């Protein structure tokens, strides 16, 4: 097996990513073997990716998530303050005091600021137009006479008071209104000459403050960025897989902020930020039952269509016999026991809840139609509580995809697309002869729909993989005339599978899991581009992708896929 991999002209085992790029471990010139002289991990002495590395695109927002190596949901994050730790910069308005950098910060460095009051109402702010659920945060501590004084986080709606001590604290508030003067003040009233130390201001989407992101003249981002390939560790995996998903929309406008007036309540009370969510932050909501019947948060006038509802729930203090509920008015409902097992379903389809650890499950319910979504508990006891997170409605979809967070409006995640293009050298792809090995994880049906791996020629001929149910098809596609040939393969069970395509001029053959499963005679096209592209890709993950510039023998293909 190792000697066969030595023959490969390209090996992509998901491990190295940058925003907009997925690196390979072969050929030479990638970030593992050959970081460039300038320190860039692109394998060249400039910004162009090394030959063999994939370019990757998904979209222009931060709506995508993944499960990281710590088994936590990871999002994209952005600090929308500029000069977030430069309080002498003109980006901060009405600096009623003097600011001197160089005092000890919470991390043991010396980048914090000393702020000395020059009047009784010292404050600074940035005037920003934001819309949605934002959290404002900063580190602060009192010095000398200001210890015990009030510290305020200012916005147009409220200025909550916090008590300073002589230790660093991170103060935060969420639900920032739009068009706010966002900033900080101390004293209430202050004494001229009072001193406060401050450090690291942040304004970000969400209900809680996340690790600080420093900014300068522009905003800064971290986590899963717009075009970052998603290396996913779902299900406790120790090695990541590349997550490729279709474009999907979450029509729930407040997927975490359950105290928003957007949500309607039936026999429950709600609180935000009441427990550690599958994100590893204290941003889980809590519903408390006020009745013994159906107890839900719900929303009317939603576009659901033939879609799927999902949410994360932790049956915190639910009594024995209580059931987690997802339903659509006039269509049906699904119930789960508090151990996550499916209890009953009507009007649609559902399976056991998916465990996310620490008592959390993700529950999903597929329905043929509807416009009213309900999330909550059935047959509970007054006073019972359940933590919830990540409500999602994906319209016109037959299975749930990864979580899409929303903070005041519906959000769309674009599809994942990674391309290895213009391979003109026979050392990587020898056009008329070649072998492609795709290893993935099948978690459900359908397996593939549309393009997953495409070997495309410059005359617009392609090898396309798709599926009907659990039957994978390889189709030879001619853009001008349609399908030239089809190889349909046996059904696959859930789990890891290896799928290999070999072409040798006009001879095409497919191998799956150590066996030859189909052949076809085709025109001798010359393939020059490789895409790992999502059309409508379902619950599957890419573990590795190998390419050979030769047509391997049958015995070699069997060895590679065994």
Instruction: Give the total number of structural domains in the chain.
Output: 3
Please name the residue that has the structure tokens 């190889």.
Answer: 487
Note whether 47 and 180 are within 8 A (CB). no
454 in helix, strand or coil?
strand
d(CA 341, CA 361): 10
Please check whether residues 319 and 390 belong to one and the same domain.
yes
Please name the residue that has the structure tokens 């895409």.
Answer: 531
Average pLDDT of the chain?
Answer: 84
Measured from the Cβ of residue 83, the count of other Cβ atoms closer than 10 Å reads 18
Mean pLDDT of 374-380: 95
> Is 538 part of any domain?
yes
> Is 427 part of any domain?
yes
Residue 537 is predicted with a pLDDT of: 40
d(CA 489, CA 471): 6
Please check whether residues 50 and 174 belong to one and the same domain.
no
Q: What is the CATH number of the domain that holds 532?
A: 2.60.120.200
Please check whether residues 6 and 119 belong to one and the same domain.
no
Note whether 512 and 490 are within 8 A (CB). yes
Residue 558 is predicted with a pLDDT of: 93
Structure confidence at residue 458 as a pLDDT band (50, 70, 90): low
Residue 272 is predicted with a pLDDT of: 97
Residue 158 is predicted with a pLDDT of: 66
Q: Is the pLDDT of residue 357 over 60?
A: yes
Note whether 369 and 305 are within 8 A (CB). yes
d(CA 14, CA 555): 27
| Nearest Cα residue to 80 out of 157, 139, 135, 18 | 135
**Domain end marker among 412, 429, 446:** 412
> Is 232 part of any domain?
no
> Is 82 part of any domain?
no
Lowest mean pLDDT among 42-56, 154-168, 392-406: 42-56
Please check whether residues 13 and 105 belong to one and the same domain.
no
Q: Is the pLDDT of residue 218 over 90?
A: yes
Q: Is the pLDDT of residue 65 over 60?
A: yes
Please check whether residues 141 and 212 belong to one and the same domain.
yes
Residue 216 is predicted with a pLDDT of: 98
Lowest mean pLDDT among 26-40, 107-121, 223-237, 478-492: 26-40
Mean pLDDT of 535-555: 73
pLDDT in tens, 222-234: 999 989 989 899 8
390 in helix, strand or coil?
strand
Please check whether residues 525 and 432 belong to one and the same domain.
yes
Residue 197 is predicted with a pLDDT of: 96
Segment holding 5, helix H or strand E? helix 2-7
Quote the percentage of the chain above a pLDDT of 90: 51
Residue 301 is predicted with a pLDDT of: 95
> Is 442 part of any domain?
yes
Q: Which residue has the higher pLDDT, 378 or 4?
A: 378
Please check whether residues 432 and 556 belong to one and the same domain.
yes
Q: What is the CATH number of the domain that holds 163?
A: 2.60.120.260
Please check whether residues 170 and 284 belong to one and the same domain.
no
Note down the domain range covering 427: 2-59+416-561
> Is 256 part of any domain?
yes
d(CA 406, CA 404): 7
**Domain end marker among 412, 433, 453:** 412
Please check whether residues 273 and 361 belong to one and the same domain.
yes
**278: its two tokens:** 């599958």
State phi, psi for 555 to the nearest 5 degrees. -65, -35
> Is 78 part of any domain?
no
Structure confidence at residue 130 as a pLDDT band (50, 70, 90): confident
Radius of gyration of the chain (CA): 27
Please check whether residues 252 and 399 belong to one and the same domain.
yes
Mean pLDDT of 267-272: 98
Structure confidence at residue 444 as a pLDDT band (50, 70, 90): low
> Is 74 part of any domain?
no
Q: Which residue has the higher pLDDT, 191 or 290?
A: 290
204 in helix, strand or coil?
strand
**Domain end marker among 388, 412, 436:** 412
Q: Is the pLDDT of residue 531 over 70?
A: no
Structure confidence at residue 457 as a pLDDT band (50, 70, 90): low
Pairing of strands 507-512, 495-504: antiparallel
Look up the pTM and report it: 0.87
Please check whether residues 153 and 301 belong to one and the same domain.
no
Please check whether residues 259 and 323 belong to one and the same domain.
yes
């Amino acid at each position: 097996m190792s000697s066969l991999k030595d023959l490969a002209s390209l090996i992509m085992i998901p491990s190295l990513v940058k925003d907009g790029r997925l690196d390979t471990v072969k050929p030479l010139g990638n970030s593992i073997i050959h970081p460039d002289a300038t320190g860039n991990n692109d394998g060249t002495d400039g910004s162009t990716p090394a030959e063999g590395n994939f370019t990757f695109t998904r979209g222009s927002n931060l709506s995508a998530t993944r499960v990281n190596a710590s088994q936590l949901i990871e999002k994209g994050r952005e600090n929308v303050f500029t000069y977030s730790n430069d309080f002498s910069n003109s980006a901060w308005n009405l600096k009623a005091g003097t600011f001197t950098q160089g005092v000890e910060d919470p991390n043991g460095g010396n980048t914090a600021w000393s702020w000395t009051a020059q009047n009784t109402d010292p404050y600074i702010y940035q005037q920003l137009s934001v819309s949605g659920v934002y959290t404002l945060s900063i580190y602060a501590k009192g010095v000398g006479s200001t210890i015990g004084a009030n510290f305020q986080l200012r916005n147009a709606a409220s200025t909550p008071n916090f008590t300073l001590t002589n230790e660093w604290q991170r103060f935060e508030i969420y639900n920032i209104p739009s068009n706010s003067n966002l900033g900080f003040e101390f004293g209430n009233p202050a004494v001229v000459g009072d001193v406060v130390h401050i450090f690291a201001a942040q304004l970000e989407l969400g209900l809680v403050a996340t690790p600080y992101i420093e900014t300068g003249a522009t905003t800064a981002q971290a986590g899963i960025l717009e075009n970052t390939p998603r290396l996913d560790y779902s299900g406790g995996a120790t090695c990541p897989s590349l997550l490729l998903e279709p474009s999907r929309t979450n029509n729930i406008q407040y997927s975490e902020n359950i105290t928003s007036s957007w949500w309607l309540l039936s026999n429950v009370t709600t609180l935000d930020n009441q427990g550690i969510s599958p994100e590893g932050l204290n941003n889980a909501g809590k519903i408390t039952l006020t009745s013994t019947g159906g107890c839900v948060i719900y929303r009317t006038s939603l576009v659901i269509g033939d879609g799927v509802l999902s949410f994360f729930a932790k049956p915190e203090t639910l009594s024995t016999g209580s059931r987690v509920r997802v339903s659509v008015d006039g269509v049906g409902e699904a119930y789960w026991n508090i151990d996550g097992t499916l209890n009953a379903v009507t009007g649609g389809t559902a399976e056991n809840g998916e465990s996310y650890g620490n008592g959390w499950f993700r529950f999903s319910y597929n329905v043929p139609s509807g416009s009213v979504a309900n999330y909550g508990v059935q047959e509970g006891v007054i006073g019972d509580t359940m933590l919830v997170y990540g409500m999602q409605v994906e319209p016109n979809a037959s299975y749930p995809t990864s979580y899409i967070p929303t903070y005041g409006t519906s959000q769309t995640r674009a599809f994942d697309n990674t391309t290895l293009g213009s391979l003109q050298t026979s050392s990587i792809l020898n056009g008329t002869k070649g072998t492609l090995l795709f290893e993935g994880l099948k978690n459900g049906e359908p397996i593939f729909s549309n393009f997953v791996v495409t070997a495309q020629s410059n005359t617009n001929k392609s090898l396309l993989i798709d599926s009907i149910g659990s039957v994978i098809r390889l189709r030879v596609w001619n853009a001008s005339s349609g399908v030239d040939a089809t190889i349909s393969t046996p059904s696959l069970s859930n789990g890891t599978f290896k799928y290999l395509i070999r072409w040798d001029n006009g001879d095409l053959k497919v191998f799956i899991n150590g066996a030859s499963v189909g052949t076809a005679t085709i025109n001798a096209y010359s393939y020059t581009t490789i895409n790992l592209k999502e059309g409508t890709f379902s619950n599957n993950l890419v573990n590795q992708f190998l390419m050979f510039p030769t047509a391997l023998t049958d015995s070699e293909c069997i060895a590679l896929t065994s």
